[in-house]
Amino acid sequence: MSKTINNDEEVKIGIYICDCGINIAGVIDTTTLTEYAKTLPNVSLAKEYTFMCSSIGQEMIKEDINEGLINRVVVAACSPRMHEPTFRTVVREAGLNEFLFEQANIREHASWVNLDDSEGALKIAKDHVRMAVAKLNELKPLEVELVKVEPTCLIIGAGIAGMYASLDLAQEGYDVYLVEKEPTIGGHMAQLDKTFPTMDCSACILTPKMVDVEREEKIHLMTYSEVDNVDGYVGNFDVTIKKKPHYIDQEACTGCGACAIECPVICGNEFELGIGTRKAAYIPFPQAIPGKYTIDMTKCIKCGICASPDVCEPDAIRLDQKPEYIDVKVGTIIAATGWDLYDPTELKQYGYGKYPNVITGFEMERLLSSYGPLEGKPVRPSDLKPPHVLGFLQCVGSRDFRPGKNKYCSRVCCMYATKQARQYKEKHPEASVYIFYTDIRAFGKGYEEFYESAGENFNIKFIRGRIGELYENKDHSLIVRAEDTFLQKQIEIKLDMLVLSCGLEPRHDSDQIASLLTIQKSSDGFFMEAHPKLRPVDTLTSGIFIAGVAQGPKDIPDTVAQAKGAASSAATLMAMGEFAIEPYYSIVLEQKCSGCKSCQSLCPFNAISFDVIKNIAVINKALCKGCGTCAAACPSDAIVQNHFSDDQIFAMINTAIPPLAKTENGGK
């Protein structure tokens, strides 16, 4: 007896087995699988083809639907997370409801994980196809829900990535809320002196863009602010932004700096990595945008000098300012939250924090900077004299395969060390500069040439070998021992100063951002892209994109390229104006609901309300995101989750386990 759909039409299932070249057929005997598929209930036909996702494969399905041979489709191929949208479109274009389709995963979950076990992979493939057919027999047509996409984007982080994404979107006509934690935009790039390989002055190329961001009308700049909460879904995110108190009225402040001149509190300047000083009333650096002052309440002694009318003429000081919470509605979100520098203190063998003349590459950047604390004349910290022998050690906090360490390559350190070495040689041609490296990775455009030139024209000595031993002399110079792995020889060099080329790490607070946005992180701790090659700026959460080092270590050109990519992806979504969401919401069967309210407290999205008159639960399908938690919990089985109903799931469970074969060795 055949199963029927609502209009009493007979269920006719078509099964399409994809060879995926040799990806599937190289392991699984697809001919046997096709023959097996034909024996399953309500299956009208089963076919095999090399690439089902190709246009020929897609046409095969369409033709069979159009000729009335089938009215439901199973494709046994890759993961539904890869091609479910492709085949749903095919089914829809052939005039069938796109939810009368099921994909059986026989590649990622069968052939690829059992390359040497054809029999085992075939067994799993059969089970997956049988489960798909069982579900398909129970599937019901569903209507896609279209939601409006608000033409506004939230961008978290105003470093070079966030700035470029904002500018692109603003110029395309979208409103942008650009949220930055620090009192200024610019991010880490503002702290760099020059950029490899062109030796552009970082500030010269960055600060004009910072001004553009401030001037652009469509960009609503929110510095010294944090994203406090994110609710809603693609196209309709409700975001709460916390504006931290500046203790200075930003509208009234003219940026004259009188408060900072008069402020009696002197403390370390974070922008200068503690090498320079600032006051409690401060601006991070002279070109900061917006150029308004902030009072650091953790340092302020509340003397009130700045508040006196003689000091602050516009009367902008507000020592009792409270945080402000602002609600905005946005359609898309780009997370460009950046990175932290690896802290080498834990690597005791290099003596960072113990020996004064061991510094990080980022500190070196500030020492070399013409607008840094030393005005571009680097000296060693112990005696404030320029070092004659300078060493750089690569891969500090990168490419370390010990448990709990960063296994990845940070990609920028080889080049920044070479650049800094060259900068130092330009200033002190008489000095000797050594770079101790693992491998030189000069991967970008013009990078290899830059590296070659550093050795050839600047006489920088590259030694292939990590430093094994380091100790300090009485005069604070350093003795380092390493193995030159090319010469296979132990070497010992006396250095005046050692720079640790530290790698990049995910921001310490990236966990909070990830859970706020419900996006995933890869095992290295950076935000995870939806597909490593084909969807590099998307996340698994629709409407949320990632850019810059937040996704993985990269240099400035790659960061800008990715930021522009993320902006383009967000713009595409907003230009469409509507987004189809999967109608996996749950519904309440009125007759079955006993009004126990168990479901109400379980819903993470407050989508379930209670109808007091009918004494039943009511689900708002616009708020429901389709997790099915309520359906699992309902003691009366009164809640049905679309596309994942009990009928469908239990049908799969009931056919999943084949009886043990006596003759065949399938069951063994």
Partner 1 sequence: MAEVKEDFDPYILGICCNWCTYAGADQAGTSRMQRPANLRILRVMCGGRMEPLMVIQALKNGADGVLVSHCHVGDCHYVEGNLKTFRKMPLFLKMLEQFGVNPKRVKYTQVSASEGAELTEIVKEFVKELKEIGPNPLRMEE
Nearer to partner 1 (CB atom), residue 136 or residue 631: 631
Nearer to partner 1 (CB atom), residue 481 or residue 625: 625
Does residue 605 belong to the site contacting partner 1 (CB under 8 A)?
A: yes
Angstrom distance (rounded) from CA 502 to CA 397: 6
**Which among 355-363, 465-473, 483-491, 626-634 is the span making contact with partner 1, rule CB under 8 A?**
626-634
Cα separation values, 44 from 17, 96, 139, Å:
14, 16, 17
Strand ranges in 512-635 using DSSP code E only, listed in sequence order: 544-546, 578-581, 586-588, 608-611, 616-619
Size of the site for partner 1 (CB under 8 A): 62
Nearest of 479, 486, 480, 478 to residue 468 by alpha carbon: 480
Does residue 333 belong to the site contacting partner 1 (CB under 8 A)?
A: no
Does residue 239 belong to the site contacting partner 1 (CB under 8 A)?
A: no
Q: Sheet containing 324-330: which strands, arranged edge to edge?
A: 225-233, 236-243, 324-330
Least distance (Å) between residue 138 CB and partner 1: 13
Least distance (Å) between residue 75 CB and partner 1: 15
Angstrom distance (rounded) from CA 391 to CA 397: 17
Does residue 518 belong to the site contacting partner 1 (CB under 8 A)?
A: yes
Q: Return the DSSP state at 432.
A: E
Assess contact for 101 and 91: CB atoms under 8 A: yes
Angstrom distance (rounded) from CA 328 to CA 225: 13
Assess contact for 305 and 312: CB atoms under 8 A: no
**What SS3 state is found at 129?**
helix
Does residue 229 belong to the site contacting partner 1 (CB under 8 A)?
A: no
Assess contact for 299 and 263: CB atoms under 8 A: no
Interaction mask 574-593, partner 1, x per CB under 8 A: ----------x---------
Among 12, 72, 83, 128, the residue binding partner 1 under the rule CB under 8 A is 128
Assess contact for 243 and 158: CB atoms under 8 A: no
Among 5, 41, 50, 108, the residue binding partner 1 under the rule CB under 8 A is 108
Residues 148-177 that bind partner 1 (CB under 8 A): none
Q: Return the DSSP state at 144.
A: P
Does residue 540 belong to the site contacting partner 1 (CB under 8 A)?
A: yes
Nearer to partner 1 (CB atom), residue 235 or residue 391: 235
Among 523, 534, 591, 612, the residue binding partner 1 under the rule CB under 8 A is 523
Nearer to partner 1 (CB atom), residue 141 or residue 658: 658
**Which among 269-277, 363-371, 502-510, 651-659 is the span making contact with partner 1, rule CB under 8 A?**
651-659
**Which among 29-37, 103-111, 244-252, 262-270 is the span making contact with partner 1, rule CB under 8 A?**
103-111
Nearest of 490, 424, 494 to residue 459 by alpha carbon: 424
Whether the ω angle into residue 290 lies within 30 degrees of 0, i.e. cis, is yes
Least distance (Å) between residue 41 CB and partner 1: 17
Does residue 661 belong to the site contacting partner 1 (CB under 8 A)?
A: yes
Among 308, 473, 490, 515, the residue binding partner 1 under the rule CB under 8 A is 515
DSSP string, 567-595: HHHHHHHHHH-EEEEP---EEE-TTT---
- 172 is written with which tokens? 């395309």
How many C-alpha atoms does 425 have within 13 Å on its Cβ side?
Answer: 20
Mention every residue, 6+ apart, whose C-beta is less than 8 A from residue 512.
none
Nearer to partner 1 (CB atom), residue 120 or residue 245: 120
**Which among 31-39, 302-310, 461-469, 625-633 is the span making contact with partner 1, rule CB under 8 A?**
625-633
| Residue given tokens 């959460």 in the structure block | 541
Does residue 628 belong to the site contacting partner 1 (CB under 8 A)?
A: yes
Least distance (Å) between residue 208 CB and partner 1: 39
Does residue 653 belong to the site contacting partner 1 (CB under 8 A)?
A: yes
Least distance (Å) between residue 521 CB and partner 1: 7
Does residue 142 belong to the site contacting partner 1 (CB under 8 A)?
A: no
Nearer to partner 1 (CB atom), residue 80 or residue 465: 80
Nearest of 43, 37, 50, 35 to residue 14 by alpha carbon: 43
Which amino acid is present at 654? N
Nearest of 286, 287, 265, 267 to residue 275 by alpha carbon: 267
Interaction mask 25-64, partner 1, x per CB under 8 A: ----------------------------------------
Does residue 627 belong to the site contacting partner 1 (CB under 8 A)?
A: yes
Among 265, 319, 602, 623, the residue binding partner 1 under the rule CB under 8 A is 602
Does residue 14 belong to the site contacting partner 1 (CB under 8 A)?
A: no
Assess contact for 107 and 117: CB atoms under 8 A: no
Does residue 522 belong to the site contacting partner 1 (CB under 8 A)?
A: yes
Does residue 123 belong to the site contacting partner 1 (CB under 8 A)?
A: yes
The terminus-to-terminus CA distance of the chain in angstroms comes to 32
Least distance (Å) between residue 528 CB and partner 1: 6
- 478 is written with which tokens? 């350093």
Among 215, 445, 508, 662, the residue binding partner 1 under the rule CB under 8 A is 662
A 10 A CB-CB count for 371 gives 13
Nearer to partner 1 (CB atom), residue 53 or residue 440: 53
Assess contact for 98 and 62: CB atoms under 8 A: no
Angstrom distance (rounded) from CA 650 to CA 628: 15
Residues 474-513 that bind partner 1 (CB under 8 A): 511
H, E, C per residue of 31-56: HHHHHHHHCCCCEEEEEEECCCCCHH
Interaction mask 62-91, partner 1, x per CB under 8 A: -----------------xxxx---------
Which amino acid is present at 489? K
Assess contact for 240 and 325: CB atoms under 8 A: yes
Least distance (Å) between residue 629 CB and partner 1: 3
Nearer to partner 1 (CB atom), residue 86 or residue 629: 629
Does residue 564 belong to the site contacting partner 1 (CB under 8 A)?
A: no
Residues that bind partner 1 (CB under 8 A): 79-82, 105, 107-110, 112-117, 119-121, 123-124, 127-128, 131, 511, 514-515, 518, 520-523, 528, 540-541, 584, 602, 604-605, 625-629, 631-633, 641, 644, 646, 649-650, 652-654, 656-657, 659-662, 667-668
